[in-house]
Structure 1
Amino acid sequence: MTPELFPPSMEKNDTRAKTFIWIVSVVVFAAVAFLAKFRLSVDLGFNVHFFAQLNAIINSAVAILLIAGLVAVKQRNYQLHKKIMLTAIILSVLFLVSYICHHLLAGDTKFGDLNHDGILSEEEKSAAGSLRIFYYIILITHIPLAAIILPFILFTAYRSLIGEYEQHKKLARITWPVWLYVAITGVLVYVMISPYYS
């Protein structure tokens, strides 16, 4: 059974869809960039780095779902593929909420900051060694790709939902590997930075 045999899940309206996707993408980007500059001092009764751990769990689940979604579509199980990918999108929305919560409540953590004073001494830099360079290489590739992937995800999903499967497939060839990279490196960033959480 080919995807063309499935009726579209929604009515095509490119103008409305483009407006919605770009508004959502800009608002999310602005919220993350703007809120990253602030920190709330609120006692929630638990370690706020729980949100970072939750982010890593969500990113792990998204990475697994992306691989499962690829396997499903290669096996021509398009209904399963659709369910898997929509689940990955829903989890990514939860990730965004958790990510904003973490940055608002925990602030920034510097890699190698053993005494949690926000300043890296020469001793701390030396202790972190070349691992610190590797961490920042991962981080500087992860952040811009995470910032630009959202509209690609939404446009890719939209093309599928309106039944334009060839366009969906073309977009997915760009979206899927970038999204997977963002999810995997998100977990890697957490694993590397978490020892320095206060």
Structure 2
Amino acid sequence: MSREKEIIDDKKYNKLIVVLSVLIPIVVAILFGVKIPNVEPLTFLPPIYASINGVTALVLMFAVFQIKKGNRATHEKLMKFAIMLSVSFLAMYVAYHMTSDSTKFGGEGAIKYIYYFILLTHILLSIIVIPFVLITYVRAITNNIEKHKKIAKITFPLWLYVAITGVIVYIMISPYY
């Protein structure tokens, strides 16, 4: 299929975007409260999903670099990979919390407030970024490139912040596992 394919109306995806944007955080919240009894805790997962966050951040930056060089095909592949990484992170994060108790942050003083600020903004923006990623992706696959570029300028820093702060949260809490 030609790169210069016709622009497809992206409005048909709006309902799906809304459903996923609402459903994903609700399902994660519900599953976060579910504990699977008599299952070995998946305590090996946090460093893996933190690393996935780090790789996601690198992939996002490399994808932006590629599109600025005009390499659309590589950009596309990298963005699909970033989405797959984020879905993998989410699956592992939920699996960990379904089999393990949450780890309490043990730091005191100013570092405690810094940790909770980073954690809170990470969680809130990880919810907020979902519709942005979906809309940005749909605008790309429907070839609405001008609209894609416009929203990507918002999506990129949000998603990058979520990926980087995921690593920071892990580093800060890792001594308390």
- 2:3 equivalent in structure 1: 6
Q: Which residue of 20, 24, 49 maps to 2:20?
A: 24
Question: Partner of 2:164 in structure 1?
Answer: 184
Q: Cα deviation per residue 1:110-159 (whole Å; 9 max; x = unaligned)?
A: 100xxxxxxxxxxxxxx633211110110111110001111110110110
Is residue 120 of structure 2 the alignment partner of residue 140 of structure 1?
Answer: yes
Aligned partner letter, 2:109: G
Using the size of structure 2 for normalisation, the TM-score is 0.92
Work out the CA distance in 1 between the residues paired with 2:71 and 2:7: 23
Structure 1 residues 149 and 42, CA, compared in 2 at 3 Å: closer, same or farther?
farther
The answer to whether the 8 Å contact 1:38/1:107 transfers is no
Q: CA deviation at 1:48?
A: 1.5
Preserved contact between residue 48 and residue 105 of structure 1 (Cα < 8 Å)? yes
User: Counterparts of 1:2-151 in structure 2 under 5 Å?
Assistant: 6-8=3-5, 12-44=8-40, 48-112=42-106, 128-151=108-131
> 2-side partners of 1:11 and 1:100: how far apart?
37
Correspondent of 2:140 among 160, 169, 192: 160
Distance 1:7 1:98 in 2: 38
Gaps of 5+ in 2: none
Distance 1:170 1:107 in 2: 41
Shift of 1:191: 0.8
Partners of 1:97 and 1:91 in 2: CA distance: 10
Q: CA deviation at 1:108?
A: 1.7
In the alignment, the residues of structure 2 paired with residue 42 and residue 191 of structure 1 have an alpha-carbon distance, to the nearest angstrom, of 29
* Contact 2:52–2:85 (CA under 8 A) maintained in structure 1: yes
1:159-188 deviations in Å (ceiling 9; x for gaps):
011111000000000000000000000010
User: Which structure has the larger Rg over C-alpha atoms?
Assistant: 1
TM-score, length-scaled by structure 1: 0.82
Q: How many residues align?
A: 176
SS of 1:128 mapped into structure 2: coil
Structure 1 gaps, min length 5: 113-126
Cα offsets for 1:80-99 (capped at 9, x unmatched):
11111111011111111111
Conserved? CA contact 1:36–1:107, under 8 Å: no
Q: CA deviation at 1:40?
A: 2.2
Task: Check 1:129–1:170 CA distance in 2 against 1; reply closer, same or farther (3 A cut).
Answer: same
